[in-house]
Amino acid sequence: MATISDVARMAGVSTATASRALNGKSTVDPELAARVMTAARQLSYQPNGPARNLRRQEAAVLALIISDVENPFFTSIARGVEDVAHEVGYSVVLCNSDENAEKERRYIDVAIQERVAGVILSPTGESTTVDPLLARGTPMVTVDRPLTDRTSDTVLVATLESAREATAHLMAHGYRRIGCITGPSGVRTADDRLAGYREALRAAKHPSSARLVRRTEYREAGARRAMLDLFDQAEPPDAVLVANSAMAVGVLAALKELGLRPGADVGVVAFDETPWAALVDPPLSVVAQPAYEVGQAAARLLLSRIEDTDRAPTTTVLGARLIARGSSAGPVG
């Protein structure tokens, strides 16, 4: 594989001049520069990244560590990050921590070893995993969930407020016993969605009970079991707030098994807009989170922190939007 020395030799200049010509840095005689360029093209020279990064002591690469590649919310974030990063010549490498603190730790180590310029992550929970990043002063932005007892730039969605609004919406449409199916305790978004739900009930002096709440992993199977479990008791809910789209699938599947109709029999509002939400019968009411914008904001914050390391950490909160559809139109009878 051709090196810069080969290019320099072919162009009849020193490697220093070749480097300068290729990077368009300092002033180089146009004639020499042209010779270098043609030589590079003829040898189809591609700079050696590791060598460059070693010398420069930094790589134009951002690491994005997300907790679930199969969750559309996170892939939308990824697109937002990518689009912003590419505009300014950064590459993005995407890592999937799978809600697993061990994998997260491992990817963080890789990011440090590869000396990436910065890291964006949705922390799985154990905030000590990010200590190595903080210790080294690697620029970092957390998305979706804040770090519990540490501090960094953060981009969040106003999830508590949205949960409150969605719950109020269910009450306003005539549902009386509203349940909530949310994610594991300790995951901030799960806790916030539950808190918003509780606040809304309290504000409306609505009956509330721990028996109407279920917590499970953020997945379809767990949500289905939770929903069946909610309906396996004396006084089941007549509506539920569901904390993400994978869970919504489980909940709708459970209702189908139970022979209950969303909306008419059981009101449903779920977090995350998906392509299919409008397609099911009746269409599913959702809280649409601005995932793409979260990604964009996170990338911009990270880039500006790379510029200026000791700016004070900021927190950005983006609003979500309730899209009311048939599944929360109100009970019949």
The residues of the shown chain that bind DNA, judged by CB under 7 A, are 1, 3-5, 12-20, 22-23, 25-29, 32, 45, 47-48, 51-52, 54-57
Tell me if 22 sits within 8 A of 40, measured CB to CB.
yes
How far, in Å, CA of 118 to CA of 139, rounded?
5
In the list 32, 43, 93, 228, the residue contacting its own copies (rule: CB under 8 A) is: 93
How far, in Å, CA of 35 to CA of 22, rounded?
11
Q: Name the nearest CA neighbour of 58 among 105, 136, 114.
A: 114
Tell me if 295 sits within 8 A of 303, measured CB to CB.
no
Rule CB under 8 A: say whether 249 interacts with its own copies: yes
Residue 242 parent element (H or E): strand 239-242
Q: Which is nearer to its own copies, 36 or 61 (CB)?
A: 61
Stretch near its own copies under the rule CB under 8 A, chosen from 94-102, 184-192, 208-216, 265-273: 94-102
Rule CB under 8 A: say whether 23 interacts with its own copies: no
Distances (CA, A) of 75 to 81, 148, 242, 289: 10, 24, 20, 13
Using the Cα atoms of residue 224, residue 229, residue 234 and residue 235 in order, give the sign of their dihedral: negative
Rule CB under 8 A: say whether 233 interacts with its own copies: no
In the complex, the smallest distance separating the C-beta of residue 85 from DNA, rounded to whole angstroms, is 20
Q: Name the nearest CA neighbour of 171 among 282, 272, 267.
A: 267
In the complex, the smallest distance separating the C-beta of residue 274 from its own copies, rounded to whole angstroms, is 8
In the complex, the smallest distance separating the C-beta of residue 196 from its own copies, rounded to whole angstroms, is 25
Rule CB under 8 A: say whether 79 interacts with its own copies: yes
Rule CB under 8 A: say whether 258 interacts with its own copies: no
How far, in Å, CA of 179 to CA of 209, rounded?
9
Q: How does DSSP classify residue 35? A: H
Q: Which is nearer to DNA, 24 or 275 (CB)?
A: 24
**Which residues here bind its own copies, judged by CB under 8 A?**
1, 44, 46-51, 53-54, 59, 69-70, 72, 75-76, 78-79, 82, 91-96, 107, 109-110, 112-115, 132, 135-136, 220, 246, 249, 252-253, 256, 274-276, 278-281
